[in-house]
Structure 1
Amino acid sequence: MKNKTIWITGASSGIGAELSRQYAKSGNRLILSSRRLKELEAVKETCSNQEHIKILPLDLKDFKSMDDSVEKAIALFGSIDLLINNGGVSQRSLIADTNFEVYKELIDVNYLGTVALTKALLPFFIKQGSGHFAVVTSVMGKFGSPYRSGYCGAKHALHGFFDVLRMEHQKDNIAVTMICPGFVQTNVTINALTGNGEKLNHDDPGTKNGLEVSYFCKKMIRAISANKWEVSFGKKEKLGVFVKRFSQKLLHSIVLRSNVR
């Protein structure tokens, strides 16, 4: 992609920050969003072509602000070609140990916030006659794993919503790409919510040994440019997507044997 206006949520770190750097190199106009203004400014400083990068703070839990945020985003460059719904939070806790408020937080951030922003931008894409929604879900949006019940539920919900959006708005020249990463070397595990809502504050071997973030983002950008409907990236964990199609019981046994945490 070149010379496009791209809006990236969750742009203050990890996948969002690296996407920003890679898209900036191609001469695109970027809108970077997250709650953390200072971190967004720091990411911008690491990008090339900074004159084509704007910062727009955004809280995915502030559903009522989405219409206003979309108006501001459009005003920055006059158009938006691609929204990358990347913002979110993970989880590490057993169901029996997880407060209900944590489940609500996971749904509000990972699902409802993304839906609210997408809904607010959709009328502009329809009027424009084109648009592209890219959604960073997870292989956990395709199958489950212990310690991630609320995270899995929210990611599964994204697939249901955006599959229908693709069906209803293909006629409006609106594309949807679902990106399903496995382990990627980011702070997603460190920032994951525990059963009482606190951050985990330490990493795990799966994330440490996952895909290098720049490599993953290159593959993600290629998938979006090719208008793929859904792609899974990762190491052996992505095989779970295919094993489930063959035998859900077999996948169940494999996941339990992996002693995942």
Structure 2
Amino acid sequence: HGGTGIAIAAGQKGDVDLLIVHDKAREVKFIQDGDGLERRCFAYNYFYIVGPADDPAKITGLNATEAFQSIMENGLTEPDQVKFITRGDQSGTHSKEQSLWKAAGYNYSEVNTSGPWYVDAGSPMGATLIMANEKSAYTLTDMSTFMAYKGNLTLVPLIEGGDELLNVYSAIAINPEKHPGVNCRLANDFIDYLVSAECQEIIGTYGQEQYGKPLFFKGEDSCDVMGCSAEECVVPTQAGCAEA
């Protein structure tokens, strides 16, 4: 297990039977390259932009791209007060962060080398949140990891919700024609379970008791919200596996 980048690399080598990932552009390319069969959307939540409660970059009330602009502008002029921690690990969250910098009008390679305000954690989400907390810095996080860690953090969500911060989870079975060693039938059976009414109910309530709100929203009847095509929401999975 690991971030989307690690998962896709494993899928490209045929080391796994299916992927559960959250980076549509790379998922589509993975399928176009012949490594995966079909993309199935099954759950979603949102990314948060979190930071210190005193919000030195004054991003509260802005949208996500405006927030990134303000963080960079203030980070460049006051790097001791305003910092941003990036995962820097080619995960789905890191890809989302890069897309937000682009939407804010910046070239990511320039952001990445623009000064001490921008700190590369090179770490998974939990470790990145802990580093951001220690440095009283901003970061982009998925909602579920933040909820799981927030009891140990002083960081607070400053920007949440909205289409810009939508986070869609999908499953892709590995193509057995390109990777003959994979268990395609088992992968599709598991994907069919993910989109089943039984599993969707589990997804839609998971975390409610412990955290006071579910960590994910079920994909069932939410195809439009997730921005997925009708084909990506078909139940059960349509992709056939080559006959043994």
The TM-score normalised by the length of structure 1 is 0.33
Instruction: Compare the two structures and name the one with the higher strand fraction.
Output: 2
Instruction: Compare the two structures and name the one with the higher helix fraction.
Output: 1
Which of 1 and 2 has higher RCO (CA within 8 Å, sep 6+)? 2
